[in-house]
Amino acid sequence: MPTIPFIGRLRSHEYPAVFISLLLVFFESILHIIIPFIPKSIINWCYLKSAKLFHRYVSSPAPPSPQRRLADRIRRARDFEALCNIFGYQHEEHVVQTKDGYLLGIHRIPVRAGDALPRPGTSTGKPVVYLHHGLLMNSEVWICTTDARRALPFVLAEAGFDVWLGNNRGNKYSKKSNHHNPAHPKFWDFSIDDFAWYDIPDSIEYILQTTGAKSLSYVGFSQGTAQAFAALSIHPQLNQKVNVFIALAPAMSPAGLSAPIVDGLMKASPSLLFLVFGRRAILSSAAMWQSILYPPIFNRVIDVSLDWLFRWRSKNISSLQKMAAYAHLYSFASTKSVVHWFQIMRHGRFLMYDDDAYGSRGRSYCPVRFPTRNIATDVVLLYGDTDSLVDIDVMRASLPDHNVEVHRLHGYEHLDVLWGENVHKDVFPDVLDSLRKHAERPDMIKLLEHALENAGWASGSHAKGTTNGHTNGNGNVLSGDETSTSAAA
C-alpha cells in the first residue's frame, strides 16, 4: 500500500505550513494558466501601474546614466549571444548528446574581444577551461555582469584561454531529449546522479575531442562543483582529463536552510516537494512573474527570499548588478534534483539519490555515498566565510588530504562569488594563479602574468595570507593549508 511521505514525519505546527504551501502553488498554477490569455495591453498597464506605485511609495526613479542603461541592456538580453554582443565577444554554440540521449547546449568563447572566430574544426592551440553553473541556473550567469572585468569567462578569454561554458539537462539551453518530450514527467526524472554519470563527463569528452586538448581546467559554481565532485569520484579516468578543479562557493553537504519551518519540512520529508511541485520542472512559473513584475519589485522579491531561506544579505552586490543579473538567475531544473539536495541535507552526507527513501521504515541499508576521497585531480576551494551553504570542515573531511587547497573569502556570501563588486580583486587572482600552475602549455605562465598585470592584479598582490605561521591581510593567523582573501571595502 503506498504511503503519503510526510504523514507521521512532521511536527503538528508544520502541517498548516504544508497546507498553505499547497494552496499557494494551486493559486500560482491557476495564474499560470490564465495569464497567457490576458491581453498584453492589460499586463502592460499593470506593469506601468506597479512602477508608478513603487516610485511613489518606495523609491524615486533614478536618473538615467550610462551604467544604468548598460544594466538595463544586460537585463533585457534574451540569451547568451546577446550578452556576448554587448561586450564585443564572439562565441560558438555546440550540442553535446549524452549517453542517455539528452541534448545539451554548450557555449564557447575561444578568442579575445574583437577577434574573429577560428574556422570550424580547427584547434586554437590554447589551454581549455570549462565553467559550469549552479542549481536553477544556466551559462548566462557567468557573463551578466555590468563590467567585463568582473565576468570570469571574458577575463579568461583575454588571458588566452579557450573558454567553454556548460549547461545542465533541462535548462534553457538543454531542454531536449531523443527519448522524451519536456511535457512528459519522464523527461524530468533526473538528479545530481545523472549530471555526474552523463552531463559532466560527456561534455568534457566532447570539448576535448573538439579542441584536441589532452586535458582541461574545470571551474564550477555551487551545484556545478557538486556535479564535478560526484563525477570525478565515480569516473576514475575522468581525473586524467581534468588538470585542476576550481570550486567557487563549493557545495557538497549543506547544513540546511535558515527558514526553520521550510528546513524542518524538507529534512523530515524531502519527497514532500513532489507533492507540492509534481515530478516535473520546479518553480517553472518564475519566468512568468519576471515578465509581469516591475524589475525593482522583482529584485526585492528575490532579495527577501534569499534572506529568508539562506540569510544572504547580498551587500557585496550593487543594486545595478542585481538589476542586470537577477533577470538571468533562474532556469529550469527538475524537482527531483532539489529533492536530492534535501536528502543530502537530511543525512548530512554527500549521497547518491535514494529512490526508496520512504518505501520502508527501519530499512537495513544505507544510501550510497559519492566516494569523493578517491578524487585524484588537484582541487582548489574558494568559499565565503558568511556563506550559509558551505560547511568547509565537513567538505575537507570528505576530500583527500594531499591535493586540496583552500581559500577563504572574508565577508563573501554565496552569490557574491559570481557577482560581487570586487570579484576581480578578491576571487579572480586566485583562479588565475591556480590555472597558471596547471596549464598544459608552459608559455601560459607568461600570458597569465601579463593578464594579471593588465588588470592591476600583480601576482600575489591581492591581500591574502597563508598558514604555517603566516597571517592574512587582517593579521589573523589561519589554520591548516588555508589561505584567505579580504573583500575590499
Q: Which residues are catalytic?
A: 222, 387, 414
Indicate the DSSP class of residue 76.
H
3-state secondary structure of 162: strand
Distances (CA, A) of 269 to 67, 150, 193, 309: 46, 40, 20, 17
Helices within 348-438 (DSSP H only): 392-397, 416-419, 423-426, 428-438
Q: Which amino acid is at 101?
A: G
Distance from chain centroid for Cα 371: 22
Identify the residue whose cell numbers are 516537494: 273
Tell me the sheet residues that pair with 244.
217
pLDDT one-digit tens code per residue, 147-180: 999 999 999 999 999 999 999 999 999 999 999 9
User: Which carries the bigger pLDDT value, residue 310 or residue 238?
Assistant: 238
pLDDT one-digit tens code per residue, 436-489: 998 766 455 556 666 656 655 444 444 343 333 333 333 333 334 566 655 544
Is residue 27, in this structure, part of any structural domain at all?
Answer: no
Q: Which three cell numbers stand for residue 269?
A: 520529508
User: Which carries the bigger pLDDT value, residue 70 or residue 448?
Assistant: 70
What integer pLDDT is reported at residue 17 of this predicted model? Answer: 59
What integer pLDDT is reported at residue 123 of this predicted model? Answer: 84
Is residue 112, in this structure, part of any structural domain at all?
Answer: yes
What integer pLDDT is reported at residue 165 of this predicted model? Answer: 99
* Per-residue confidence band for 295, with pLDDT thresholds at 50, 70 and 90: confident
What integer pLDDT is reported at residue 15 of this predicted model? Answer: 61
* Percent over 90 (pLDDT), the chain: 58
Is residue 297, in this structure, part of any structural domain at all?
Answer: no
pLDDT of residue 336 exceeding 90, the answer is yes
What integer pLDDT is reported at residue 249 of this predicted model? Answer: 98
Q: For helices 428-438 and 444-454, what crossing angle results, to 10°?
A: 170
Is residue 15, in this structure, part of any structural domain at all?
Answer: no
pLDDT of residue 287 exceeding 90, the answer is no
3-state secondary structure of 254: coil
Identify the residue whose cell numbers are 534569499: 306
* Per-residue confidence band for 32, with pLDDT thresholds at 50, 70 and 90: low
User: Which carries the bigger pLDDT value, residue 402 or residue 6?
Assistant: 402
What integer pLDDT is reported at residue 56 of this predicted model? Answer: 77
Residues 419-442 as b or e (16 or more Cβ within 10 Å = b): bbbbbbbbbbbbbbbbbbebbeee
* 63-75 mean pLDDT: 92
Indicate the DSSP class of residue 160.
T
Q: Which three cell numbers stand for residue 358?
A: 520512504
* Percent over 70 (pLDDT), the chain: 79
Window from 215-219, 315-319, 352-356, 436-440 with minimum mean pLDDT:
436-440
What integer pLDDT is reported at residue 472 of this predicted model? Answer: 35
Q: Give phi and psi for 383, each to the nearest 5.
A: -135, 150
Window from 229-243, 285-299, 382-396, 443-457 with minimum mean pLDDT:
443-457
Q: Give phi and psi for 200, each to the nearest 5.
A: -70, -55
Is residue 40, in this structure, part of any structural domain at all?
Answer: no
Vertex 292 angle, CA 290 and 298, to 5°: 45
Is residue 197, in this structure, part of any structural domain at all?
Answer: yes
What integer pLDDT is reported at residue 9 of this predicted model? Answer: 54
Q: Which three cell numbers stand for residue 7?
A: 504523514
Strands (E), 397-478: 404-410, 464-465
Q: Give phi and psi for 423, each to the nearest 5.
A: -60, -30
Q: Return the CATH number at 385.
A: 3.40.50.1820
pLDDT one-digit tens code per residue, 78-109: 999 999 999 999 999 999 999 999 999 999 99
Q: Domain total for the chain? A: 1
Is residue 192, in this structure, part of any structural domain at all?
Answer: yes
**Domain limits for position 241:** 77-255+348-358+367-455
Is residue 392, in this structure, part of any structural domain at all?
Answer: yes
CA distance 246 to 220: 6
What integer pLDDT is reported at residue 474 of this predicted model? Answer: 34
Stretch (H or E) spanning 383: strand 379-384
Across 254-268, 304-318, 375-389, 450-464, the highest mean pLDDT is recorded for 375-389
What integer pLDDT is reported at residue 460 of this predicted model? Answer: 42
